[in-house]
Amino acid sequence: MALVVSSSSDDDHDHDEQQQGPSLVLCFPPPPSCSREGRACLPRPESREGGREEGGAWPGRSSASPASSSSSAAGKMANVGLSFEGSAGASDPQSRPVLILGRLPNLQRLPWTHLRGKLQPRVSEEVWQAALSTLNPNPTDSCPLYLNYATVAALPSRVTRHNSPSAAQFLTRLIRNCLPGGANRCILMVCERSEVFASACAIARAFPLFTRRSSVSRRIEKRTVIVEFFLVGQNNGPVELEMLKCLESATEGVRLAARIVDTPCNEMNTDSFLEEIKKVGKDLGIVPTIFRNAELKEKGFGGIYGVGKAAVHPPALAVLSHTPEGATQTIAWVGKGIVYDTGGLSIKGKTTMPGMKRDCGGAAAVLGAFKATIKQGFKDNLHAVFCLAENSVGPNATRPDDIHVLYSGKTVEVNNTDAEGRLVLADGVAYARKDLGADIILDMATLTGAQGIATGKYHAAVLTNNEEWERACVKAGRNCGDLVHPLVYCPELHFTEFTSAVADMKNSVADRDNSPSSCAGLFIASHIGFDWPGIWVHIDIAAPVHAGERATGYGVALLLSLFGRAFRRPSAEPGVSLGLQWRFPRGRHGERLQETALGLGLAPFGDGTLGLPHFALMSF
């Protein structure tokens, strides 16, 4: 028998569009006159009435133009509810479309007994096996199983050492391209236990919350996607309820961060961002500390005030503080929240200014991660510091040659008003050290365009005063899918780029060819002090904060991987970690070492703490 199906590789099209691949005739067995060999064909699916579909085209696949496909994809992915469940249950794919995802070897280990309830009566075991035989991921591939109601998609069979084993970026793209439409849909993710957290966050990125499409706003029906994991390999038992709850909170954080970054400044100004912070605080029972406008100037926050003073909506420093009893260490996350960056008087061009609504990506990630972390029961002091401003143009705007006194007490000669992120973050990290007494300070920012050149579109850049934390960030990025790669940390060679004749430093480098992303991070560190004995980590997320025209929610998973936990298996033996074993400094001065586990899904150690990066004493 013969039929026409649509088959295409995910790599051939943009992740924001759902384009249709070429039609292929697959025959099984091949007739004598057929020249196509080596590819089995799937039986033609039957309609609900039992008859065969008429015509040669695969319904819903080849008739739509690229433009209409893009519009359809955008509509079906936006503002959708995600639900992680231990079992999605059985359902006819014509009433609940299904997408089955995983690496091909893992898909081949998926037993039909587990799968048939989601595919029958439309898809038989013979069709399923034939579909698997047609998959040839290079790097990905997909095959429809029944009309446009059921699809199987294969992730890369292997990845290189600087990628995540979960192939998270490919996973998001496959979902955007292959998930069938419908009000109620199902994703069955086939993976190893160590890949669950990264896969869940990658799935969340495919479903943005923000949209102003009129067609979506008129939609009455509520759309839901149920996500079920089938685990293969070691520790392949069922997914525990505790893990599912963790995935829910983590993915909520990812989608919250992406929504804030996607929202334009006419809606997401500094006032609006403060409301988002207050809302999270209310959910967690925390009242934020807020300094605004003239109060910033009075208290010495010259960086934040100087950047945002020309805008209609005044700048702010906001802090959410979690201070439970028994805490033994203090951690501060500092986020850059430039709600729009015109460049100031050093104004950007017409081609470089669009997209600058994303300059608040660091603060958005800190907010999403803080919410998820505290909901999971964090047991040490954690402060989320938000440096909010709009870098605008006006009579009160900072001018090149102006000198500001920052919260550290150091003076800065402004030679580039478009290098504003480091100014607001310098105030934030100085406040974290002086007022919050932080032992560990991590700042996250869409700081430099050079980051995308240094480490690319998918890997954020990490700069830190501690080599073990550098390795920890890279490993955590691979575990969670928010990839990270190190920058050169060498202040004795690079900080002279900021030399000023009239102030302690300038805010922009003299030589743009001398590791500008490293230099930008060092400017921030200088306001803590290069001799400060604590841990400082800088994450530049300028490129991975978005993919195409959509925000990714980058940073939430990374912070959770570094400082939190996704889940632990109640049945695991004490001292047995499902993550990767490392040794890290513990304490402000790094005076003693303690074995810790980096990664997610970690079991408790014998001392009663969890196998987390508790070099930061992050016990739950």
> Active-site positions?
348, 422
Residue 212: how many CB atoms within 10 A of its CB? Answer: 11
Q: How would you label 531-568 residue by residue, b for 16+ Cβ within 10 Å and e otherwise?
A: eeebbbbbbbbbbbbbbeebbbbbbbbbbbbbbbbbbb
Region for 200 from its dihedrals, namely left if φ exceeds 0, alpha if ψ lies in -120 to 50, beta otherwise: alpha
Q: Are 131 and 152 in contact (CB under 8 A)?
A: yes
Instruction: State the Cα–Cα distance between residues 287 and 318, nearest whole angstrom.
Output: 10
Instruction: State the Cα–Cα distance between residues 526 and 505, nearest whole angstrom.
Output: 10
Torsion from C-alpha of 104, 480, 614, 576, nearest 10 degrees: -10
Structure tokens belonging to residue 158: 């292997």
Instruction: State the Cα–Cα distance between residues 401 and 71, nearest whole angstrom.
Output: 48
Cα dihedral 124, 129, 131, 132 sign: positive
Instruction: State the Cα–Cα distance between residues 435 and 328, nearest whole angstrom.
Output: 17
DSSP-derived 3-state class of residue 565: coil
Q: Output the CA–CA distances (angstroms, integers) from residue 15 to 73, 109, 172, 395, 618, in the order listed.
A: 10, 28, 8, 42, 36
DSSP-derived 3-state class of residue 462: strand
Instruction: State the Cα–Cα distance between residues 90 and 518, nearest whole angstrom.
Output: 53
Start-to-end C-alpha separation, the chain: 59
Cα dihedral 370, 375, 376, 382 sign: positive
Structure letter (DSSP) for residue 326: T
Instruction: State the Cα–Cα distance between residues 560 and 284, nearest whole angstrom.
Output: 17
Instruction: State the Cα–Cα distance between residues 619 and 612, nearest whole angstrom.
Output: 7
Structure tokens belonging to residue 79: 């503002």
